[in-house]
């Protein structure tokens, strides 16, 4: 075995080659966890791994070949809590870069599985994910939400909310120190959606655990926005109006067309959704062709009324603000789930994660029918979600003092065409952070991304090199005034490249080829 120790901070281990014989449970016999009890440790060498990672979190797709890692599986419990959690760690067998990267989950899954480990491991990171104490093969909550009828499993909810990620980082760093002979010099978090919430939670609750956090399309504001995701179903059922998917999609297209040029260029993207004042009522009775059926249809009054309510976002029975709606270029195909029968009648099916949250955690009763809620019922549910769970799982505390004092750096980006989590919730949080600390941009930056859907997709740009920018900021002090991003090319359109603007600046087209960086500026 040949190793090279660090010569100074920031110098990578470039020639580290570890004998496969070290990847055995005995090498990790000294693993420990404050407040926890290690139950089992398994270790094995995985060689010549290959994966075509088409939907990685916070990276561009990559084809990985010839990857060799030591996989360590750690099972542990918190004595007295009756929980069992599992952490999967990959330690590169060669060319460890001296860093650790934790990966986050999505929905109710605490981790996204080994798919998200390939890219960071191939780049030399020690990397890991956790199951948070419950099955990660499904985003649902049925097996663990309630310990008995009417009683929330608070232990597993707190594991999922925050505790498991602190544990994972502690265990993974300890495993790296035992395997390589020295701990990581830098530790990073990477996650989107639930993974974004987890990253924000770490900055707030365990501010010294990570040096750099990339928390994107963040599902913080959990207690608010997760109920909001049921709003489309509630609106349609309460009004007894169920627009066809074609009507909703056409209204989104019409709004996008009306507000497309706000940044000075027509490119199918609403760059400044806050300035988009398209009124759906102005296109009632307009004829369009439904691409699903080939049928010629008209925009109905009901469809315009429904989508305006969805754009506005949830309100109380007397019209008071509860939470933000989606932007006007976001798709409602997933969150509204309207299906139509052969006889022409349509119905809305709730977004399953939102229904899970309301039934199992808020109401604690899976037999309650949510399809016939009154507006007063809705208001009660919304208040109960916030009152009971805001401090438990929302991860939206704007006080990042300890993370700042630790020297941590954080980057957030959020697609403005996100179809699941309202981007205005991220604007709201970042503004509150700035009110708490007017100089917060010195360590925390937010990049709105025009046209980007939830964690990826859509016609907009995608900043797949954001982690590189975070590492450069964390380790070299290179401040990310912009984030390089590109669109996904299609048969009809080439890839477009741009420098995304850090809030509060916005993109402005200055002329020239719309596919290149120099044609836009931040102002």
- The set of catalytic residues is 193, 418, 454
- Residues in a beta bridge with 106: 109
Nearest to 201 by CA among 119, 127, 132, 100: 132
Tell me the pairing of strands 151-152 and 85-92: unpaired
The residue whose two tokens read 């769970």 is: 389
Residue 100 backbone zone (phi > 0: left; psi -120 to 50: alpha; other: beta): beta
**Extended beta strands in 160-258, E state:** 186-192, 212-216
Tell me the two tokens of residue 143: 């097996």
Tell me the pairing of strands 482-486 and 346-348: unpaired
CA distances from residue 56 to 101, 233, 376, 426 in whole angstroms, order as listed: 14, 30, 41, 22
Tell me the two tokens of residue 465: 């090199």
DSSP letter for each residue of 230-256:
THHHHHHHHHT----HHHHHHHHHHHH
**Contact yes or no for 150/359 (Cβ under 8 A):** no
The residue whose two tokens read 């980082």 is: 169
- Residues in a beta bridge with 411: 214, 445
**Contact yes or no for 285/354 (Cβ under 8 A):** no
Q: In whole angstroms, what is the distance from residue 394 CA to residue 373 CA?
A: 25
Q: In whole angstroms, what is the distance from residue 48 CA to residue 445 CA?
A: 38
Q: In whole angstroms, what is the distance from residue 393 CA to residue 162 CA?
A: 8
Judging by beta carbons within 10 Å of its beta carbon (0-12, 13-18, 19+), is residue 287 exposed, middle or buried?
exposed
Q: For residue 274, give the DSSP letter.
A: G
């Amino acid at each position: 075995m040949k190793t090279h120790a660090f010569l100074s901070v920031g110098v990578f281990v470039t020639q580290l080659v570890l004998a496969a014989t070290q990847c055995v449970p005995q090498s990790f016999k000294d693993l420990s966890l404050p407040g926890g009890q290690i139950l089992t440790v398994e270790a094995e060498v995985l060689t010549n791994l290959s994966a075509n990672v088409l939907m990685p979190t916070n990276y561009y797709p990559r084809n990985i070949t010839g990857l060799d890692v030591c996989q360590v599986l750690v099972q542990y419990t918190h004595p007295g809590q009756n929980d069992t959690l599992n952490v999967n760690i990959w330690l590169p067998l060669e060319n460890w870069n001296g860093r650790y990267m934790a990966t986050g989950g999505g929905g109710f899954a605490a981790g996204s599985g080994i798919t998200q480990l390939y890219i960071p491991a191939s780049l030399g990171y020690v990397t890991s994910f956790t199951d948070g104490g419950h099955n990660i093969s499904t985003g649902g909550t049925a097996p663990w939400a309630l310990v008995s009828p009417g009683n929330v499993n608070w232990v597993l909810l707190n594991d999922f909310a925050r505790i498991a990620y602190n544990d994972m980082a502690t265990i993974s760093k300890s495993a790296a120190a035992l395997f390589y002979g020295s701990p990581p010099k830098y530790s990073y978090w990477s996650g989107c959606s639930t993974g974004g919430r987890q990253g924000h939670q770490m900055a707030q609750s365990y501010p010294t655990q990570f040096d750099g956090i990339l928390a994107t399309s963040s599902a913080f504001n959990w207690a608010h926005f997760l109920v909001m995701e049921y709003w489309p179903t509630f609106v349609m059922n309460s009004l007894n109006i169920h627009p066809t998917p074609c009507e909703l999609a056409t209204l989104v297209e019409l709004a996008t067309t009306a507000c497309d040029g706000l940044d000075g260029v027509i490119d199918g993207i609403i760059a400044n959704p806050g300035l988009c004042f398209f009124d759906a009522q102005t296109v009632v009775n307009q004829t369009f062709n439904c691409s699903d059926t080939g049928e010629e249809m008209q925009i109905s009054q009901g469809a315009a009324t429904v989508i305006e309510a969805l754009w506005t976002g949830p309100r109380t029975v007397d019209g008071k603000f509860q939470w933000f709606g989606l932007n006007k270029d976001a798709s409602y195909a997933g969150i509204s789930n309207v299906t139509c029968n052969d006889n022409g009648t349509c119905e809305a099916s709730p977004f399953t994660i939102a229904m899970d949250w309301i039934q199992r955690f808020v109401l604690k009763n899976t037999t309650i029918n949510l399809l016939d809620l009154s507006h007063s019922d809705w208001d009660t549910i919304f208040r109960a979600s916030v009152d009971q769970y805001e401090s438990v799982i929302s991860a939206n505390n704007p006080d990042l003092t300890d993370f700042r004092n630790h020297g941590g750096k954080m980057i957030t980006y959020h697609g403005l065409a996100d179809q699941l989590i309202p981007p205005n919730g991220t604007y709201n949080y970042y503004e509150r952070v700035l009110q708490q600390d007017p100089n917060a941009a010195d360590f925390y930056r937010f990049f709105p991304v025009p046209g980007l859907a939830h964690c990826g997709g859509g016609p907009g740009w995608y900043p797949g090199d954001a982690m590189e920018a975070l590492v450069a900021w964390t380790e070299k002090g290179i401040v990310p005034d912009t984030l390089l991003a590109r669109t996904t090319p299609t048969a009809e359109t080439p890839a477009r490249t741009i420098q995304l603007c850090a809030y509060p600046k916005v993109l402005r087209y200055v002329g020239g080829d719309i596919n290149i960086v120099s044609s836009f500026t931040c102002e």
